[in-house]
Amino acid sequence: MKRTSVLGGLFGLALLVAIAPMAEAQQVPASREQISLSFASVVKQAAPAVVNIYTRKTVRTRALPPIFNDPLFRQFFGNRMPQGVPQQRVENSLGSGVIIQANGIVVTNNHVIEGADEITVVLQDRREFEAELIGSDERTDLAVLRLKDSPTGLPTLQLGNMETLEVGDLVLAIGNPFGVGQTVTSGIVSALGRHTGGNSFNAFIQTDAAINPGNSGGALVTLDGKLAGINSSIYTRDGGYMGIGFAIPADMVRTVVDGLLNGGKVVRPWIGVTGQGVGRDIAASLGFDRPGGVLINGIAKGSPAETAGLRIGDVVTAVDGADLADPADLRYRLATRPIGESVTLSVLRKGGAVSLRMPLEAAPDRPDRAETEIKGRTPLTGIKVANLNPALSEELERAYVPDTVIVTAVRRDGYAANLGIEPGDVIREINGKPVRSVQEVTDLLQRTPSRWLISIQRGDRVLNIQVG
């Protein structure tokens, strides 16, 4: 059934009610067509491409006697708690997926298959196939599978065009909620461009189509039978459906799938800026009529942003004509574009409008990370440190700051772990000497003073650790 026929019929019903006298507002439908509208043809077209996914993984743990759960024992042993008796158990989980290529390529959520030892995909016609993981992208919660020994010519869903999706559009959610089997629910697009705290790139489609545990990785389908997005999460207080579900947009799905199929990993554009959202107060101070956009407060030397002519104090209001509400919008717009292309930035600069053309490039992996594990008798023994460069800052999801030494790993039984040092900490000073590189850290640690003072930055806080 065509999208226009469904919407047209619903519009006709609304118009009929609107123009009827109040006394006749509850009359029965006037024609057979008005009561025979159905989504069945869309479901028949789309549902065969939606699959059920079952996973098994072995979880290995170490059981300790109950006495070691006592806080007194934990305080005494600290990070050197006994390891306990090795144990293992098998965990099963379920989810959904979508066939996007007829040769058996399936896209699903990363959290559906994460850590799985075995992945089984069940088609709508009950055929079962073992699947292998091609690749996953934790930051967008997407994964791509390939069915083993699958026939060709499998049913597929075509990725839709997000530019045509609007709030109020009717959509169908297809998946395997609670493992009961393939289920179809209907609703509308409640909102677009929703950003959640746990995801730095996606601008989710929000829908009121019923989505429950097991729907993850399933399809959100438009009435023309296209894939609008991959159902990913819900807002809930008790674990069940509450009318708010989120789907990863087809644009992001397309970008991640292309990266995983063609290079094994997703490489996102890096432009080399830091910025903040333009709220009401900043908008008023800048003379804007409304909040919105991204105020640029930092530009990396040699970055695409610098090449394009962006300046500190500029406000980026749109990318290729798409308005930006905040920095999350900017990240999403750039993350869905391929490396090597260029985008047009709409910029407000000192009250005037400027248009800048900016190239999209991969974050350079320089200067050399020089990742090093600290050994010997030092306060930092048991950690790994690296020079922060643009590529590493993208991997760690943090702003790039030159001349920064960052902790990338902490060994549990190392001396530094006992001091409370954590991955992501930045080493600023050692005994009053500023630190700008891994080489400077290792040189300073070779000394043997009677007392150590280590200055660590963690977020907005600076921690001073004294030893000796």
Catalytic residue selected from 93, 190, 216, 346: 216
Cα 37 to its chain centre, rounded Å, is: 37
From CA 146, how far away is CA 131, in angstroms rounded?
Answer: 5
From CA 314, how far away is CA 292, in angstroms rounded?
Answer: 13
Q: Any catalytic annotation for residue 195?
A: no
- Element housing 113 (H / E): helix 110-113
From CA 171, how far away is CA 191, in angstroms rounded?
Answer: 12
Q: Any catalytic annotation for residue 111?
A: yes
Rounded to the nearest 10 degrees, the angle between the axes of helix 327-335 and helix 250-262 is 50
3-state secondary structure of 48: helix
Catalytic residue selected from 93, 136, 137, 141: 141
Q: What are phi and psi of 394, to 5 degrees?
A: -65, -40
Burial category of 95 from C-beta neighbours within 10 Å (exposed 0-12, middle 13-18, buried 19 and up): buried
Residue 9: both structure tokens together: 């019929």
DSSP 75-140: HHHGGG----EEEEEEEEEEEEEEEEETTTEEEEEHHHHTT-SEEEEE-TTS-EEEEEEEEEETTT
Q: Which amino acid is at 239?
A: G
- Element housing 353 (H / E): strand 352-359
Catalytic positions, written as ranges: 111, 141, 216
